[in-house]
């Protein structure tokens, strides 16, 4: 029996066909992956299934009955639930309150919290979710919040659950746990549609996979009959290399030197606490560590976005720690001194989402010639420049005026990387440069970062993906509680060694 | 497809409006030439139902309609901005007399009058600083004289010898009330003291009430007000107090309806009589415009309202003073300076 | 894509206006008035004759400037609810220049207008400064500044600017007046004045500033995403202050226009005129774009001025027009039209399939 059939679905947006005559069949009780690059049309298709968009053509059958899904409420009634990439939870509410929000079952006019709580507890136990119904959302981890989203769909009686890139926000361990939960769900008779671009996850948990490229279905295959390389090729449309090809680093002079740096957060707690670091021209230094050990603050301090309590930061031998902002801000002075910064959160820092791509491309140098003349901005020059970068860095956008908001994550990231690399900075700081991106985009970005190194520039890489750190770095520094507690050589180290260091076991003791 | 649907919806709505507008225009054209004398009345921002000045003015217009067959129409001003358009609207309809109620119009009347030299305007409560255009008649009242009698009534009623006066915005006009009132008190009962307070507003009822409350609490037992809507607060307050012990005196019209058991009397400005009389004179072409018309007891334009609370001997005294004022024996002060030299 | 967004804003606005008018009509019918007659009177009374057209434009003038003032602050992520107070202070300052100085015609008016604009900007400086430096919410400061402005203005008028405690000031020198004969005559002696030229000019200035200059680029970046602006090395605090200064300047010009063009004097006010608050609605309906503000201000001007005639000719209380205005704002703010469009789309699809 088929749980979902989408037949000949076409959805057009101005300037783009997001879904082009798509056929998708999901059998009851399977985990069906929807694989595609960023912007391939996976999310659009699922939003259609969830009733958020209406298709221009085509029909949908749920449990072999033809339906028109007018909105999420209707989707819920049909037994379709969706776990969004960005959680839709009210932070100060408890788990129970969040789950019943919009589906409050009342007895004589009052919400029966007790009953709801019991029911949620029961569901949680049944599927092994281990969620405490009374906890406040603000107090629980991201992984736990995601399980609340899963519970939300179960509470509404979902039979078909759509997961929209669920692992993008999770730690490796949380990912393993999620995979187990998904298996449990299927065992209990649920059907899962799993949107992803991570091949490993597909191989480990899915039954079948439908590959979508540029709005069209390329193929549907049994996971048992395929492998990662084949899937990657189907998704990107060419052979993809998983290895980063790079030559031996030839480091020269010191570009960045950090000595005894102390940075305090808003509460006055030192989050970077006596950190030393050196990055030389022609090498990539990777910083490995568990999230929250001072990585973000280190970067913000180096780039002038956070005040420094104590210590020294020098760039090309010049101290910039207390650079006076006599003209513009400290951040600007440091940028001008030759620092490029790919920020960890592209939506928070990296882009003005409601600006066009053109305006975003000059975010760091709009005030310089030729982009500005007197007090005006020379939009002709800006557009010319933006078009060149769009071309060069393969940013897929209908035009240079398109709002950054409407691009896919991968293309947004490519735009940021284009902007930061094209200025040819002596030091490139790349924080989570490939978070949430597909293999094609990751390959592209990795190549660009290595190219930048090969031009004789320094690169500081921060990533929570051990894979990425190991592949790209020439040297790896492990950060723990605001200090570098050890340096390792990526060619000789193992994931185990790194893991121990990241957990705070200093190298000396370990050996 | 959908775009066209919306477009047609919008277009049709515009069409309805357009057709409607043109239809109205034809209908209105005929009215202009209708024979007869026409009156327009523009209120200040208080509106027609202010239970005070505007309302009583409108009474006069209605009397003119009833007795003289005059066509009448009011226009209420919502903001100060509206004065000129409203006056102009009537002027363009070539109304024979356009009344502007209140001194707030004194800046705009000359401007509009100059533009429409063939239309007559009347302004109540202002003499336009003495520069009255040819086609304007400025009606003022000898409020000081009426207030004098209110002062007499208060002075002869108080038990505590403490009397209050609440003014609206301090201006020469309201000073006239105050001076007359204090002179009246002084004349009838030299021992009585008058406390004066200004609300600096003509419509802040709450302010009026709190001023009244303070006065009564300090031992004052009779309060006279010349403060428009602020006065409502005075009546709200006095109502809550002992009957026969605390009194309020109203202004402009008989305000006893606001607190029947506590209203000693009211200083009635017969704005209605004034508007009626002058409209009548103008209709019968007996009036020369371009000058100030001052109205007082002689013209029956001022009086104290009849009231059961005024004792006969007090009434007698009031009548005596009234006669003295009419025959010129008493010259009631209009300003602070004149008050200082009064008697 | 961006093209589409722009279009849908216009469509949204038009639908909201239409729905607002319908709601007003229903309210009138329920209150026992003839809605058709009322709307006839409304539009006829505000547009069909030169005098009325002039007065409508006169009513529209400060609404445009107030709308621009709110809009430019919105663009930088600030809510300038203090337009009212900035107008009052500007009005007072322009009046003082108009009365106390003695300058040749033309120059006198220019000086008075500029002083008004600067006064408005300075009045807006404090909320901007406190927001930038101390993080105090600008709405709170602005509201308090409104009351300070109102009562300060009343005190100064009573005690300094009027002779013997009258309730309004003397008239400004004719040299400082913004009224010009040819405009007045063209519009049958209505009070239309050069403020409309200033307003339209400022709409262009706002467009040029925001979308053509470095400063505008920064202001918009700060408004959309202050974190990204900080990342780009912009001085976020300075931009907040500058935005409030410009916003206050526009508000100041609105106030100056009112006193130098419309009234020529100031009377003691016991309450706000409401033009500043209408400016918020104008900006909202105009989607914070200069051209949108001009048209929505015109609509508000027609409704405000025309409502007087509605009372005159159709005996409908002008308060009902506030119902229309409120309904329009409601429909825009709640994006009802967007939702309606969705429903229509879905229905049509359901029918086709």
Same domain, B191 and B323: yes
Same domain, B320 and B202: yes
Residue B17 has pLDDT above 80, yes or no: no
**Cβ distance B144 to B331 under 8 Å?**
no
Cβ–Cβ of A376/C2 closer than 8 Å?
no
**What is the pLDDT, as a whole number, of residue A323?**
64
Q: What's the gap in Å between the CA of A297 and the closest CA on chain C?
A: 14
Same domain, C141 and C75: yes
Same domain, A137 and A40: yes
**What is the pLDDT, as a whole number, of residue A300?**
92
Same domain, A19 and A47: yes
Q: Report the CATH number that the domain containing residue B101 is assigned in CATH.
A: 3.40.50.2300
Same domain, C22 and C58: no
Cα B59 to chain centroid distance, Å, stands at: 12
**What is the pLDDT, as a whole number, of residue C350?**
56
Same domain, C310 and C328: no
Same domain, C7 and C58: no
d(CA B117, CA A164): 78
Q: What's the gap in Å between the CA of C96 and the closest CA on chain A?
A: 34
Residue C1 has pLDDT above 60, yes or no: no
Domain for residue B16, yes or no? Answer: no
State whether residue C351 sits within 8 Å of chain A by CB: no
**What is the pLDDT, as a whole number, of residue C85?**
96
Strands (E), chain B: 38-42, 71-75, 97-101, 120-124, 136-141, 162-167, 193-198, 222-226, 247-252, 263-269, 291-295, 302-304
Q: How many percent of chain B have pLDDT more than 90?
A: 46
Sign of CA dihedral C35, C39, C40, C42: positive
Which of B80, B89, B172 is opposite residue C312, by nearest beta carbon?
Answer: B89
Same domain, C324 and C287: no
Cβ–Cβ of C228/A70 closer than 8 Å?
no
Tens of pLDDT, residue by residue over A348-391, are: 999 999 999 999 999 999 999 899 999 999 999 999 999 999 99
**What is the pLDDT, as a whole number, of residue B12?**
45
State whether residue A353 sits within 8 Å of chain C by CB: yes
Please list every residue in chain A whose beta carbon sits closer than 8 Å to the beta carbon of residue C345: 54
**Cβ distance A50 to A38 under 8 Å?**
no
Structural domain tally of chain C?
2
Same domain, C81 and C191: yes
Domain range for residue B277? 36-141+272-295
A 10 A CB-CB count for C194 gives 19
Question: Confidence band (pLDDT; 50, 70, 90) for B1?
Answer: very low
Q: Report the CATH number that the domain containing residue A182 is assigned in CATH.
A: 3.40.50.300
Last residue of a domain, one of A406, A424, A442: A424
Last residue of a domain, one of A204, A236, A268: A236
Q: How many percent of chain C have pLDDT more than 70?
A: 92
Domain for residue C37, yes or no? Answer: no
**What is the pLDDT, as a whole number, of residue C346?**
62
d(CA A43, CA A196): 10
Residue whose structure tokens are 């959680």: A87
Which partners does chain C have (≥3 C-beta pairs < 8 Å)?
A: A, B
Class of residue C4 by CB neighbours under 10 A (exposed 0-12, middle 13-18, buried 19+): exposed
Question: Confidence band (pLDDT; 50, 70, 90) for B252?
Answer: confident
Same domain, B43 and B90: yes
Which of C221, C233, C345 is opposite residue A352, by nearest beta carbon?
Answer: C221
Question: Confidence band (pLDDT; 50, 70, 90) for C310?
Answer: confident
Domain for residue B28, yes or no? Answer: no
In the 8-state DSSP scheme, what is residue A343?
A: -
Same domain, A357 and A402: yes
Instruction: Please give the average per-residue pLDDT across C308-323, as a whole number.
Output: 82
Nearest Cα to B213, choosing from B178, B173, B164, B168? B164
**pTM attached to this predicted model:** 0.78
Domain range for residue A32? 2-236
Tens of pLDDT, residue by residue over A330-340, are: 899 899 999 99
**What is the pLDDT, as a whole number, of residue B22?**
41
Instruction: Please give the average per-residue pLDDT across C200-206, as a whole number.
Output: 96
Domain for residue B24, yes or no? Answer: no
**What is the pLDDT, as a whole number, of residue B229?**
83
**Cβ distance A31 to A185 under 8 Å?**
no
Structural domain tally of chain B?
2
Mean pLDDT check: name the lowest of A410-414, C163-167, C258-262: C163-167
Question: Confidence band (pLDDT; 50, 70, 90) for C122?
Answer: very high
Highest mean pLDDT among A79-83, A494-498, B6-10: A79-83
Same domain, B191 and B254: yes
Same domain, A329 and A368: no
Tens of pLDDT, residue by residue over C147-158, are: 999 999 988 988
Same domain, C231 and C309: yes
Domain for residue B23, yes or no? Answer: no
d(CA A277, CA A483): 9
Same domain, B323 and B202: yes
Same domain, A46 and A122: yes
**What is the pLDDT, as a whole number, of residue A511?**
40
Instruction: Please give the average per-residue pLDDT across C255-269, as a whole number.
Output: 91
Residue C193 has pLDDT above 50, yes or no: yes
Which of C270, C274, C345 is opposite residue B2, by nearest beta carbon?
Answer: C345
Q: How many percent of chain B have pLDDT more than 70?
A: 90
Same domain, C217 and C112: yes
**What is the pLDDT, as a whole number, of residue C316?**
83
Same domain, A173 and A24: yes
**What is the pLDDT, as a whole number, of residue A287?**
95
**What is the pLDDT, as a whole number, of residue C347?**
62
**What is the pLDDT, as a whole number, of residue A267?**
80
State whether residue A356 sits within 8 Å of chain C by CB: yes
Same domain, B199 and B82: no
Q: How many percent of chain A have pLDDT more than 90?
A: 50
Residue count of chain A: 511
Residue C2 has pLDDT above 60, yes or no: no
Q: What's the gap in Å between the CA of C174 and the closest CA on chain B?
A: 13
Q: What's the gap in Å between the CA of B171 and the closest CA on chain C?
A: 5
Same domain, A257 and A382: no
Q: Where are the alpha helices (DSSP H) in A303-369?
A: 330-336, 357-361
Same domain, B65 and B204: no
**What is the pLDDT, as a whole number, of residue B341?**
84
Cβ–Cβ of C232/A363 closer than 8 Å?
yes
Same domain, A147 and A283: no
Tens of pLDDT, residue by residue over C6-23, are: 446 788 888 888 989 999
State whether residue C235 sits within 8 Å of chain A by CB: yes
Same domain, B194 and B242: yes
A 10 A CB-CB count for C109 gives 28
Question: Confidence band (pLDDT; 50, 70, 90) for A496?
Answer: confident
Domain for residue C121, yes or no? Answer: yes
Same domain, B130 and B101: yes
Instruction: Please give the average per-residue pLDDT across B227-250, as a whole number.
Output: 92
State whether residue C350 sits within 8 Å of chain A by CB: yes
Same domain, C138 and C12: no
Instruction: Please give the average per-residue pLDDT across B237-253, as a whole number.
Output: 91
Last residue of a domain, one of A395, A424, A453: A424
**What is the pLDDT, as a whole number, of residue C206?**
96
Same domain, B51 and B129: yes
Same domain, B183 and B88: no
Nearest Cα to B260, choosing from B239, B234, B231? B239
Q: What is the 3-state secondary structure (H, E, C) of B260-288?
A: CCCEEEEEEECHHHHHHHHHHHHHCCCCC
Helix, strand, or coil here: B86? helix
Question: Confidence band (pLDDT; 50, 70, 90) for A325?
Answer: low
Q: Report which of residues B18 and B181 the model is more confident about.
A: B181
Domain for residue B6, yes or no? Answer: no
Same domain, A246 and A214: no
Same domain, B319 and B201: yes
Same domain, A279 and A209: no
Mean pLDDT check: name the lowest of A234-243, C101-110, C344-353: C344-353
Domain range for residue C189? 50-315
Mean pLDDT check: name the lowest of A98-107, A149-158, C203-212: A98-107
Using CA atoms of C110, C112, C115, C121 in order, give the dihedral in degrees to the nearest 10. -90
Same domain, A365 and A489: no
Same domain, C184 and C83: yes
**What is the pLDDT, as a whole number, of residue A110?**
83
Domain for residue C39, yes or no? Answer: no
Same domain, C21 and C74: no
Q: Which residue of B has its CA nearest to C264?
A: B107
Tens of pLDDT, residue by residue over C26-79, are: 998 898 888 888 898 888 888 888 888 999 999 999 999 999 999 999 999 999
Which of A335, A352, A372 is opposite residue C224, by nearest beta carbon?
Answer: A352
d(CA A357, CA A369): 19
Tens of pLDDT, residue by residue over A123-162, are: 988 888 888 989 888 888 878 888 999 999 999 889 999 9
Same domain, C111 and C229: yes
Instruction: Please give the average per-residue pLDDT across C185-213, as a whole number.
Output: 93
Region for C171 from its dihedrals, namely left if φ exceeds 0, alpha if ψ lies in -120 to 50, beta otherwise: beta
Question: Confidence band (pLDDT; 50, 70, 90) for B99?
Answer: very high
Structural domain tally of chain A?
3
Considering chain C, what is the average pLDDT of its residues?
Answer: 88
Domain for residue B166, yes or no? Answer: yes
Q: Report the CATH number that the domain containing residue C66 is assigned in CATH.
A: 1.10.3470
Tens of pLDDT, residue by residue over B186-210, are: 999 999 999 999 998 887 889 999 9
d(CA A227, CA B332): 111
A–B touching, 3+ CB–CB pairs within 8 Å:
no
Cβ–Cβ of C349/A54 closer than 8 Å?
yes
Considering chain A, what is the average pLDDT of its residues?
Answer: 88
Domain for residue C41, yes or no? Answer: no
Tens of pLDDT, residue by residue over B211-234, are: 999 999 999 999 999 988 899 999
Same domain, A324 and A382: no
Which of C224, C233, C234 is opposite residue A354, by nearest beta carbon?
Answer: C224
């Amino acid at each position: 029996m088929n749980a979902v059939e989408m037949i000949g679905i076409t959805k057009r947006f101005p300037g783009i066909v997001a879904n082009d005559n798509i056929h998708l069949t999901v059998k009851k009780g399977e985990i069906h992956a929807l694989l595609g690059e960023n912007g391939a049309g996976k999310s659009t298709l699922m939003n259609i299934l969830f009733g958020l968009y209406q298709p221009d053509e085509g029909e949908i059958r749920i449990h072999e009955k033809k339906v028109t899904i007018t909105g999420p409420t209707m989707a819920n009634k049909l037994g379709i639930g969706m776990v969004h990439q960005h959680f839709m939870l009210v932070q100060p509410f408890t788990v129970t309150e969040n789950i019943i929000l919009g589906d409050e079952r009342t007895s004589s006019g009052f919400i029966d919290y007790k009953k709801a709580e019991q029911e949620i507890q029961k569901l949680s136990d049944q599927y092994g979710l281990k969620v405490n119904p009374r906890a406040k959302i603000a107090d629980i981890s991201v992984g736990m919040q995601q399980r609340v989203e899963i519970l939300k769909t179960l509470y509404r009686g979902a039979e078909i659950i759509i997961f929209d890139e669920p692992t993008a926000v999770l730690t490796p361990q949380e990912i393993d746990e999620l995979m187990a939960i998904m298996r449990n769900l299927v065992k209990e008779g649920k059907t899962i549609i799993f949107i992803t671009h991570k091949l490993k996850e597909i191989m480990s948990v899915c039954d079948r996979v439908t590959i979508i490229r540029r709005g069209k279905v390329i193929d549907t295959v049994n996971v048992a009959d395929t492998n990662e390389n084949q899937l990657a090729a189907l998704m990107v449309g060419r052979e993809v290399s998983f290895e980063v090809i790079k030559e031996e680093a030839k480091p020269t002079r010191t570009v960045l030197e950090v000595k005894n740096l102390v940075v305090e957060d808003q509460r006055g707690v030192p989050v970077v606490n006596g950190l030393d670091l050196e990055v030389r021209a022609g090498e990539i230094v990777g910083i490995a560590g568990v999230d929250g050990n001072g990585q973000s603050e280190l970067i913000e301090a180096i780039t002038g976005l956070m005040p420094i309590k104590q210590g020294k930061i020098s760039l090309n031998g010049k101290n910039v720690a207390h650079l006076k902002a006599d003209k513009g801000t400290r951040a600007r002075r440091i940028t001008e001194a030759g620092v490029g910064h790919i920020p960890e959160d592209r939506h928070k820092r990296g882009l003005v989402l409601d600006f066009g791509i053109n305006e975003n491309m000059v975010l760091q140098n709009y005030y310089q010639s030729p982009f500005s003349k007197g007090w005006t901005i020379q939009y002709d020059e800006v557009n010319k420049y933006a078009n060149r970068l769009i071309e060069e860095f393969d940013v897929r956008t209908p035009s240079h005026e398109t709002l950054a908001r409407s691009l896919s994550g991968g293309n947004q990231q490519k735009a940021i990387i284009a902007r930061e690399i094209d200025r040819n900075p002596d030091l490139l700081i790349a924080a989570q440069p490939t978070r949430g991106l597909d293999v094609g985009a990751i390959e592209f970005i990795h190549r660009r970062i290595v190219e930048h190194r090969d031009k004789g520039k320094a690169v500081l890489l921060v990533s929570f993906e051990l894979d990425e750190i190991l592949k790209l770095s020439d040297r790896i520094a492990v950060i723990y509680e605001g200090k570098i507690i050890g340096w390792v050589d990526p060619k000789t180290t193992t994931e185990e060694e790194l893991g121990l260091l990241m957990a705070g076991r200093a190298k000396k003791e370990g050996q | 497809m959908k775009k066209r649907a919306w477009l047609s919806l919008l277009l049709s709505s515009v069409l309805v409006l357009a057709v409607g507008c043109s239809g109205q225009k034809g209908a209105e054209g005929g009215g202009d030439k209708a024979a007869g004398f026409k009156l327009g009345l523009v209120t200040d921002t208080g509106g027609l139902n202010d239970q005070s000045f505007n309302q009583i003015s409108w009474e006069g217009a209605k009397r003119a309609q009833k007795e003289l067959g005059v066509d009448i129409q009011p226009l209420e001003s919502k903001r100060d901005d509206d004065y000129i358009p409203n006056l102009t609207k009537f002027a363009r309809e070539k109304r024979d007399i356009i009344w502007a109620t209140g001194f707030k119009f004194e800046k705009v009347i000359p401007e509009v009058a100059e533009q429409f030299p063939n239309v007559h305007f009347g302004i109540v409560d202002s003499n336009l600083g003495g520069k009255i255009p040819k086609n304007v008649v400025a009606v003022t009242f000898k409020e000081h004289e009426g207030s004098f009698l209110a002062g007499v009534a208060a002075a002869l009623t108080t038990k505590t010898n403490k009397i209050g006066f609440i003014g609206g915005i301090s201006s020469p006009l309201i000073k006239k009330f105050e001076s007359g009132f204090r002179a009246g008190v002084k004349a009838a009962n030299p021992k009585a003291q008058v406390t004066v307070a200004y609300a600096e507003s003509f419509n802040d009822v709450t302010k009026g009430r709190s001023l009244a409350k303070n006065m009564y609490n300090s031992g004052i037992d009779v309060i006279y007000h010349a403060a428009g809507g602020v006065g409502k607060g005075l009546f709200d307050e006095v109502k809550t107090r002992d009957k026969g012990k605390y009194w309020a005196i109203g202004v402009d019209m008989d305000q006893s309806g606001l607190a029947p058991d506590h209203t000693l009397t009211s200083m009635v400005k017969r704005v209605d009589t004034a508007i009626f009389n002058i409209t009548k004179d103008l209709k019968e072409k007996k009036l020369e415009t371009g000058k100030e018309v001052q109205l007082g007891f002689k013209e029956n334009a001022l009086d104290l309202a009849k009231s059961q609370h005024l004792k006969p001997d007090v009434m007698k005294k009031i009548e005596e003073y009234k006669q003295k004022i009419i025959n010129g024996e008493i010259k009631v002060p209009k300003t602070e300076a004149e008050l200082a030299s009064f008697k | 894509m961006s093209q589409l967004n722009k279009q849908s804003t216009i469509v949204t606005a038009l639908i909201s206006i239409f729905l607002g008018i319908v709601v007003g009509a229903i309210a009138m019918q329920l209150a026992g008035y003839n809605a058709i007659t009322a709307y006839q009177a409304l539009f006829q009374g505000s547009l069909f004759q030169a005098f009325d057209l002039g007065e409508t434009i006169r009513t529209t003038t400060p609404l445009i400037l107030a709308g621009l003032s709110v809009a430019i602050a919105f663009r930088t992520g600030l809510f300038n609810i203090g337009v009212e107070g900035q107008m009052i202070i500007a009005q007072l300052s322009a009046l003082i220049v108009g009365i106390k100085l003695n300058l040749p015609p033309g120059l006198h008016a220019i000086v008075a207008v500029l002083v008004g604009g600067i006064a408005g900007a300075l009045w807006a400086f404090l909320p901007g400064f406190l927001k930038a430096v101390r993080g105090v919410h600008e709405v709170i400061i602005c509201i308090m500044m409104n009351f300070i402005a109102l009562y300060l203005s009343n005190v100064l008028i009573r005690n300094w600017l009027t002779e013997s405690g009258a309730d309004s000031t003397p008239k400004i020198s004719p040299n400082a007046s913004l009224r010009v004969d040819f405009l007045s005559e063209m519009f049958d002696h209505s009070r239309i004045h050069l403020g409309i030229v200033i307003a339209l000019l400022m709409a262009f200035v706002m467009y040029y500033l925001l979308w053509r200059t470095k400063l505008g680029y920064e202001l918009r970046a700060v408004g959309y995403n202050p974190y990204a602006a900080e990342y780009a090395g912009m001085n976020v605090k300075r931009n907040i202050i500058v935005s409030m200064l410009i916003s206050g300047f526009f508000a100041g010009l609105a106030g100056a226009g009112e006193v130098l063009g419309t009234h020529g004097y100031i009377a003691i006010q016991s309450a706000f005129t409401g033009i500043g608050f209408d400016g918020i609605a104008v900006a909202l309906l105009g989607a914070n774009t200069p051209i949108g503000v001009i048209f929505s201000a015109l609509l508000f001007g027609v409704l405000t001025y025309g409502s007087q005639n509605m009372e005159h000719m159709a005996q409908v209380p002008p308060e009902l027009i506030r119902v229309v205005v409120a309904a329009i704002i409601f429909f825009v703010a709640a994006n009802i039209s967007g939702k309606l469009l969705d429903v229509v789309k879905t229905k049509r699809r359901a029918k086709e399939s």
